[in-house]
A and B are shown apart, each in its own frame.
Chain A
Amino acid sequence: MPTILPMAIITIVVSALLWGAFLYAYSGRTWRFVRLMVWGLPLSAVVNLFVKSPVGQGVGTLAGIDPGLGLDTPVWFLVFLFLLSPVFEELIKVVPALVPSVRRHATTPDDALWMGVALGIGFGIGEAAYLGWQIALSGAYEQYAWFMFTGFLGERLVVVLLHGFMTALLMWFAARGRPVIGYLAAVGTHALLNSGAMLFQLGLVAEGVAGLSLLVVLVVAVIVFERIRPRYRQDQAESDVVYYSADD
């Protein structure tokens, strides 16, 4: 049994429970968006296996670039690899929104935002499963006990939420008639999120600095999300039970 398996299962279960509960509570206590998370689950494996991998390898082969060159890799190819994930992942995450049965859940711009959160979280959970599977297949970390993969748990928990945010951003702009701006915003955020890991892999920054990009993106995402997400208070205020008011 791959040593990462228990932690991968914990990560998937905790992410689904935590961010599913978050989506339920914040979207107005409804399950209709939580259910949409399922649509995002297979998309990470699909985009990695059938899009990113063939495109990356194909371009590398055409250009005659060997993998694993590190800093000797041509700059244009590094930029290409760097943009591969944001460009294709942000695109595939919103594909389910084209399905009529999914699309009818987003009749208002507010609904579109929550649909984006759901699809993104689903994608993030699927990505955790895909990465766990890839790590298990590689056998690279088999010397570590399962509980040593807590870094995987912590990082994925945050990234799942951020996937929800990035897709929500795209859907929020799209619902306001600016899908290209939304897509560029999502791709830009995704690129910023990946920048730390990319620089670390190239040996340009320490691991701690790489983690900083995750923290920065998380804080910015929370600030932006709190500004754009729907507020339900006005409707709810009518259902308040007033026991006492000095104004009466």
Chain B
Amino acid sequence: MSDAALSSFRPARSFGWAWLMAIMALVLAPMAPILTQPGVFSGDEAVGAWIAIAVIAPIVMLMLLALVSLPQMRYDLERDALLVSCGRMLRYRVPYAEITDVRRADLTPSLWSSMRMPGLALWTVPYADIGRVRMCATRMAKGILLIEAGGMRYGITPADEQAFVTALMMMLPKRGR
């Protein structure tokens, strides 16, 4: 909970961490021969192996960062804005004054994605039906709480959605409710 938060909400539980670990294992699998038998490649093959490591290492680092940050995912209601965060790696500030729409929706995922898998969606994720959504959620597409503000869409999945929505409604400008 941030210092300025009036109330803080946790995301719904999910097995996103398991998917992250499985994908990490898949990414690491091609490196197994290099890591377990360093001398197995020589000459051009060794160059190729190091290029593979250079490409794969940042991906693995990013996934590790996501994995350790997941327990810190939360949605804080501050005095004048909703703070959506996942540790230090993701932080969206959504001013209440800019919020124009709040709804629960099932989205259609697209094949293009930054970090989206069953049980987890982080950063900007393109969806086939509504376009880009800034996600900080423990579900990929089903039952996403969509918040539209300042021309952007934010997708979150509070564990206690009703309590979160009730608290958020109290913070929103008194208009058209």
Residues of chain A having any CB pair with chain B under 8 Å: 14, 21, 25-26, 29, 145, 147-148, 150-151, 153-154, 157, 208, 222, 225-226, 229, 231-234, 236-237, 239-248
Contacts and interface: CB of A to CB of B under 8 A. Distances in A.
Nearest to A248: B176
Nearest to B30: A150
A19 to B, nearest CB: 12
Contacts of B29: 147, 150, 153-154
A150 B107 CA distance: 34
Contact of B105 (A29, A240, A244): A240
Given A25-B109, A147-B33, A232-B108, A243 B103 contact: yes
B2 interface: no
Contacts of A154: 29-30
Contacts of B103: 240-245
Contact of B128 (A147, A151, A231, A244): A231
Contacts of B99: 244, 246
A236 B106 contact: yes
B114 interface: no
B100 A245 contact: yes
From B99, B129, B141, residue with most partner A Cβ within 10 Å: B129
Given A231-B129, A243-B165, 8 more contacts: A153-B26, A154-B30, A208-B48, A242-B101, A243-B103, A244-B103, A245-B176, A246-B176
A246 B33 CA distance: 57
Interface of B: 26, 29-33, 36, 40, 48, 99-112, 118, 128-130, 140-142, 165, 168-169, 172, 175-177
A14 B48 contact: no
Contact of A245 (B101, B108, B128, B168): B101
Nearest to B101: A245
A204 B69 CA distance: 47
Given A25-B140, A233-B130, A239 B177 contact: no
Nearest to B146: A240
B145 to A, nearest CB: 8
A233 B140 CA distance: 15
Contacts of A239: 106
Contacts of A29: 142
B36 A147 contact: yes
Contacts of B141: 25
A24 B10 CA distance: 28
17 contacts: A14-B26, A147-B29, A147-B32, A150-B29, A150-B31, A150-B33, A153-B29, A222-B112, A232-B129, A241-B103, A243-B104, A243-B169, A244-B101, A244-B169, A245-B102, A245-B176, A247-B100
